Amino acid sequence: MTAQAAFAQSNKGCSDAPVLKERGQREVFCGLTGIVWLHRKIQDAFFLVVGSRTCAHLIQSAAGVMIFAEPRFATAIMEERDLAGLADANDELDRIVGQLLERRPDIKLLFLVGSCPSEVIKLDLSRSAERLSARHSPAVRVLNYSGSGIETTFTQGEDACLASLVPELALESADSDKSLLVVGALADVVEDQFRRLFDSLGIGPVAFLPPRRSSELPSVGPHTRYLLAQPFLGDTARALEERGAKRLNAPFPLGAEGTTAWLRAAADAWGIDGDRFEAVVEAPRTRARKALEPHRFRLANKRIFFFPDSQLEIPLARFVSSELGMNPLEVGTPYLHREHLGSELAQLRSDIVLSEGQDVEKQLDRCRTSSPDLVVCGLGLANPLEAEGIATKWSIELLFTPIQGYEQAGDLAELFARPLVRRTKLEV
Amino acid sequence: MQLTLWTYEGPPHVGAMRIATAMDRVHYVLHAPQGDTYADLLFTMIERRDQRPPVTYTTFQARDLGGDTAELFKTAAKEAFDRFQPEALMVGASCTAELIQDDPGGLAAALQLPVPVVPLELPAYQKKENWGAAETFYQMVRRCAASHMPAGDWQRPARDPGRQPRCNLLGPSALGFRHRDDVTEITRLLDALGIDVHVVAPLGARPVDLARLGEADFNVVLYPEIAKTAADWLARTFKQPATTVVPIGVGATEDFIREVAEIAEIDPTTALASHQSRLPWYSRSVDSTYLTGKRVFIFGDATHAIAAARIAKDELGFEVVGLGTYSREFARDVRAVAKELGLEPLITDEYLEVERAVADAAPELVLGTQMERHIAKRLGIPSAVISAPIHVQDFPARYAPQMGFEGANVIFDTWVHPLMMGLEEHLLGMFREDFEFHDGAAPSHLSHGGASEPISVEVPLEPSSNADVMPLWAEDAERELKKIPFFVRGKARRNTEAFATERGLTAITLETLYDAKAYYSR
Ligand code: SF4
Ligand code: SF4
């Protein structure tokens, strides 16, 4: 079955399925976590969290490795003096930013990232950003967004960051032709592959948000068509729409079929005919399908349970079910963005439990009862579940590893297969 | 505000989690936003625990702030109690909840639970992880032992001579550096002395065990950072003396035996005579000659840094060229030791400052936390980990205590191994003219992938203060310097530069190099 056919079926799948909404303990990182991959992506940007020791500890624990003595992120840790009003928080922030920029003349874009403490004490970082931008321009542009745990979960930090970039994008010139904007942080290698594919298809000009350098911010306007590369970009999409850009409705570029349908959405908008499209995607799609083959053999009919974490859960459930023949039991997501996930939901079987929000204890109960073969969950839950005899895949790896596009389809499947393969090897 | 890149300690509620996780049948309800649940992974991933920490987070959101976050807390506490049925409930707030002032202690008390509720007030904007652990342990001990408190003028009666002396082991906790193995080692040591271990806490203790602490004759404080506050209270309340020597290293272990024997009123002679550490002989054997005067930089929590300094100097014959700690609470002790060694102590929790100090001291071995291990790796210096903060690899599968005589064996191996590798590399380097070997090839143990250069620091470190008058190396002198084994090369470079600077030379020639060598070998 071709991708177009797969995604065109009018079967509504999970589109109207009831959603289990839960309120209880959420076992999810906050939006600050996005800094871990965003700072690698935008190479001249620095992320300054205005927060507490907890915030600093979270990023450090999520990043796990300390490859760089001076990473391009840091925390301005608020202390008693700042809270008691003994020190003016704005003066303090100005001092720290001054200190930082003096030390790092290579920084061209500075994000002030709000945290729970800065928001609870109502520190207005947008005004700070304006003030500091005025002071340090043109050398450095200062923006702000919230990565706080009271406002954002995990990947929403990227959404907030990208949304803060949208007002900075230049307006496309009035006579410009249609242009394509790919939105959502992708590994450089994936970005380059997509760029080549769009070139061969004759789709262009193509730009990516976020760019690798702040000087390469794309322009935007009514002629901009954008494709979401990540499923968690609700605010960014809204901001782009306000600038006149239009979203190309598509699933997400995961797996051979997901990638094909995603590219197809752009090809349709550019009026590329079927033959040309086939000629371009045929070879990489075949490669991807071939790469999936051995994994499908291992994974078909295995039962999989997704804890809510990255908001990638629904597209991933679609990928593992339609391309690997796996059997999703429950698919949890921190937030369910129906519009952006429409074509993914339509592909899911209607008897799958969709859950939004979380009560981790109750969800663990459901998970145990449903006795899945594989559980996708965060780092806090993985080893305890393994100790109970349940195989797990850590969801954070799905964000730190390149998984999008044809050439990564096999790698993505391998991430799901590896824990199961490992179990068959161990004899202890 | 303080600009922070990497932190040595987490917030104080993480310290409380280390106590809750170490103990049995307690539960901690933490008023905190969802992101704070990251702390679970410290225990499940770094320590490879097979259970989630016994912590429930309320995970309030912005939309709850206008409404009733207090109600949310009560529901969470009630549900956690019903589900986990703990014997004691700890309640508290993380940094964000501290700002909204919901009073978790009062709210939990209102639930009228049938178990002790221990409210923890851990000021997140002033204090840090170790302080939080110490305060939590103290509060737990106080609360659980309260009903057994004797009158203020009570005096501890003399031990019935028919009964073996008994002590508590205080301080081992979750996420501690080798705590579990230290407990085993010290329990064996005490057993050999004829002393019973009554309660180990917090590691493995139930609230009812804390209630029995007063029954022991004295307390052994294994980790002052965590147990000192509680031990001081027990000394006042139950008139229990506490040990002050931490038994890390051969000398300290012997001192510890003497101290314990004195408190317990027993004779230490046999125990001291029969000690079985291989460190003294290994250190004296000729193979170890090359360890003499090795320049070592030490940084860690106060307990481990102080112990390391003594071992390095007295038991391995190293030269300690830097000593510091991030534990401000115990800075005084570290200052005292540094003074004895004639060093300026480094009391800081700023990572970059430590990195600078290491680079300036040009040591041949760095003993520190995981943070210093990374510094050393970048600078191409051998290193070993001696203190938290630690990483998954610091929880080895094998038995590897730091304390007691076996601990001293482990320490000898772990510190000397990276240096031995250095020697081996030099022997290989003697064949440098052979085509397989070239000077650019990094020692295999210093880098993961055999990269030819140590990973360089993103931004150059600030030049040392006298950089402007630093003499220049002539090409032939520089070439000659490269022929010197890399593990003494740093020292040779520093000595030569110091020699030249003192004499106001602007260039270092081959001549200067050898003049300096002669000067320093006098
Ligand atoms: S694996 Fe990475 S993070 Fe862990 S110790 Fe080695 S370098 Fe550090
Ligand atoms: S949840 Fe809030 S307080 Fe906790 S780390 Fe995230 S931003 Fe900081």
Instruction: Give residue B461's pLDDT.
Output: 35
Chain B residues whose CB is inside 8 A of the A70 CB are: 5, 352, 457-459
- Are residues A238 and A213 part of one domain? yes
Task: Please check whether residue A282 lies inside any domain of the structure.
Answer: no
Q: What is the distance in angstroms between the CA of the first residue and the CA of the last residue of chain B?
A: 51
How far is B302 from B308, CA to CA, in rounded Å? 10
Q: From the CA of A154, which ligand is nearest?
A: 2
Mutating which of A30, A48, A54, A113 best tests the B interface, going by the most B Cβ atoms within 10 A?
A54
The pLDDT, as a whole number, for residue B522 is 61
CB–CB contact B41 A378 (8 Å): yes
The Cα–Cα gap between B107 and B122 comes to 17
Q: What CATH number corresponds to the domain at position A124?
A: 3.40.50.1980
Mapped to the 3 state alphabet, what secondary structure does B116-157 carry?
A: CEEEECCCCCCCCHHHHHHHHHHHHHHHHHHHHCCCCCCCCC
- The pair of structure tokens assigned to A56 is 């600093």
CA distance readout (Å), B237 to A233, B156, B255: 59, 10, 26
A147 and A39 fall within a common domain: yes
Residue numbers in A near B10 (CB within 8 A): 53-54, 57
Residue B439: per-residue pLDDT: 47
Bridge partners (DSSP) of residue A264 are none
A13 vs B: CB within 8 A: no
| B302 Cα to the center of ligand 1, angstroms | 24
A135 and A238 inside one domain: no
Query: Residue B179 corresponds to which tokens in the numbers above?
Result: 């705590």
Q: How far apart are CA A127 and CA A148, in angstroms?
A: 18
Residues 6 or more apart whose CB falls under 8 angstroms from that of A251 comprise A7, A258, A261, A262, A315, A318, A343, A344, A347
Query: DSSP string spanning B374-406?
Result: HHHHHHT--EEE-SSS--GGGS-SS---SBHHH
Q: Which residues of A touch B13 (CB under 8 A)?
A: 54
> Which residue's CA is the nearest one to ligand 1's atom 1?
A65
Q: Is A398 in the pocket of ligand 2 (CB under 6 A)?
A: no
Across chain A, what does the average pLDDT equal?
Answer: 93
C-beta atoms of A120 and B99 within 8 A? yes
A153 touches chain B (CB under 8 A): yes
Long-range contacts of B407-410 (CB under 8 A, 24+ apart): B407/B178, B407/B182, B407/B185, B407/B247, B407/B248, B407/B249, B407/B253, B408/B248, B408/B249, B408/B250, B408/B253, B408/B277, B408/B279, B408/B311, B408/B315, B409/B277, B409/B278, B409/B279
Pocket lining: A360 vs ligand 2, CB cutoff 6 Å: no
Q: Note whether B50 contacts A96, CB cutoff 8 Å.
A: no
Q: Name the nearest CA neighbour of A191 among A413, A407, A343, A411.
A: A407
Judgement on whether residues A297 and A420 belong to the same structural domain of the protein: yes
| Residue A69: per-residue pLDDT | 65
Q: Which of A25, A26, A28, A32 to mutate to test the pocket of ligand 2 (most atoms within 8 A of CB)?
A: A32
Supply the pLDDT for residue B67: 77
Query: In this structure, is residue A170 part of a structural domain?
Result: no
CB-based contact A383 B83, cutoff 8 Å:
no
B349 assigned to active site: no
Which tokens is A214 given?
């702040």
Quick one: angle between helices A379-387 and A360-370, nearest 10? Answer: 40
Show residues of chain B in contact with A309, CB under 8 Å: none
The amino acid that residue B117 corresponds to is: V
Residue A22 and residue A37 in one domain: no
Which one is catalytic: B68, B191, B267, B287?
B287
CA of B355 to nearest chain A CA: how many angstroms apart? 8
Report yes or no: B264 and B218 within 8 Å, Cβ to Cβ: yes
Q: Are B165 and B265 in contact (CB under 8 A)?
A: yes
Residues A38 and A148 in one domain: yes
Q: pLDDT tens per residue, chain B (522 residues)?
A: 999 989 999 999 999 999 999 999 999 999 999 999 999 999 999 999 999 999 999 999 999 987 789 999 999 999 999 999 999 999 999 999 999 999 999 999 999 999 999 999 999 999 999 999 999 999 999 999 988 888 888 898 889 989 999 999 999 999 999 999 999 999 999 999 999 999 999 999 999 999 999 999 999 999 999 999 999 999 999 999 999 999 999 999 999 999 999 999 999 998 898 777 999 999 999 888 888 999 999 999 999 999 999 999 999 999 999 999 999 999 999 999 999 999 999 999 999 899 999 999 999 999 999 999 999 988 889 999 999 999 999 999 999 999 999 999 999 999 998 887 766 665 665 555 444 444 444 444 444 333 333 333 333 333 344 445 688 999 988 888 887 776 677 778 888 998 899 898 889 998 888 888 888 776
Shared domain check, A74 and A17: no
Q: A89 at the B interface (CB within 8 A)?
A: yes
Nearest to B44 among A117, A148, A380 (CB): A380
Burial A29-43 (b: 16+ CB within 10 A, else e): bbbbbbbbbbbbbbe
Name the residue type at position B405: F
Domain boundary among A233, A254, A275: A275
A86 Cβ under 8 Å from any chain B Cβ: no
pLDDT above 60: residue A2: no
pLDDT of residue B520: 79
> Of A227, A246, A275, at which residue does a domain stop?
A275
Q: Which of A27, A49, A52 to mutate to test the pocket of ligand 2 (most atoms within 8 A of CB)?
A: A52
Q: Are B33 and B61 within 8 A, CB to CB?
A: yes
Q: Which atom of ligand 1 is nearest to the CA of B392?
A: 4
**ipTM of the prediction:** 0.93
DSSP string, A108-140: -EEEEEE-HHHHHTT--HHHHHHHHHHHHTTT-
**A116, A311, A390: best mutation site toward chain B, by most B Cβ within 10 Å?**
A116
Residues A271 and A347 in one domain: no
- Domain interval for residue A67: 31-152
Would residue A377 count as lying in a domain?
yes
In this prediction, residue B11 carries a pLDDT of: 98
Regarding whether A61 and A35 lie in a shared domain, the answer is yes
Side chain identity at A383, as an amino acid letter?
Answer: N
The identity of residue B80, as a single letter, is A
A174 is a domain residue: no
* Ligand 2 touching residue A30 (CB < 6 A): yes
Tell me the C-alpha to C-alpha distance, in Å, between residue B110 and each of A158, A275, A315, B58, B130: 41, 72, 45, 17, 30
DSSP one-letter string for B209-254: HHHTGGGSSEEEES-HHHHHHHHHHHHHHH---B-----BSHHHHH
Domain count, chain A: 3
Q: Are A309 and A377 in contact (CB under 8 A)?
A: yes
Q: Are B6 and A54 an interchain contact pair (Cβ–Cβ within 8 Å)?
A: no
Cβ atoms of residues A120 and A106 within 8 Å: no
Last-in-domain residue among A117, A152, A187: A152
ω into residue B172 within 30 of 0, thus cis?
Answer: no
Give the three-state DSSP class for B429: helix
**Does residue A245 sit within a domain?**
yes
A102 and A196 share one domain? no
C-alpha separations of A88 from A78, A117, B2 in Å: 11, 15, 13
Q: Which of B7, B17, B94, B96 to mutate to test the pocket of ligand 2 (most atoms within 8 A of CB)?
A: B96
Q: How far is B325 from B8, CA to CA, in rounded Å?
A: 10
The closest residue, in CA terms, to atom 5 on ligand 1 is B391
State how far the Cα of A149 lies from the Cα of B95, in Å rounded to an integer. 12
Instruction: Give the whole-angstrom CA distance, residue B135 versus residue B118.
Output: 12
> Does residue A232 lie in a domain region?
yes
Quick check: A70 and B459 CB within 8 A? yes
A380 plus A293 within the same structural domain: yes
Ligand 1 atom closest to the CA of B393, numbered from 1: 5
pLDDT of residue A67: 60
Ligand nearest to the CA of B370: 1
Q: Is residue A192 part of a domain?
A: yes
CA of B95 from ligand 2 middle (Å) equals 9
pLDDT in tens, A4-36: 444 645 456 777 778 999 889 999 999 999 999
Q: Do A264 and A309 have their domain in common?
A: no
Residues A31/A153, Cβ–Cβ less than 8 Å: yes
Question: A145 C-alpha to center of ligand 2: Å?
Answer: 14
| Dist. CA B499–CA B520, nearest whole Å | 9
A79–B contact, CB cutoff 8 A = yes
β-strand partners of A357? A22
- Quote the pLDDT of residue B450: 35
Rounded Cα–Cα distance for residues B112 and B484 (Å) = 73
Instruction: Determine the pLDDT at residue B456.
Output: 36
Q: What share of chain A is helix, strand, coil (3-state, %, to 5)?
A: 50, 20, 35
Please report whether residue A75 resides in a domain. yes
This prediction has a pTM of 0.89
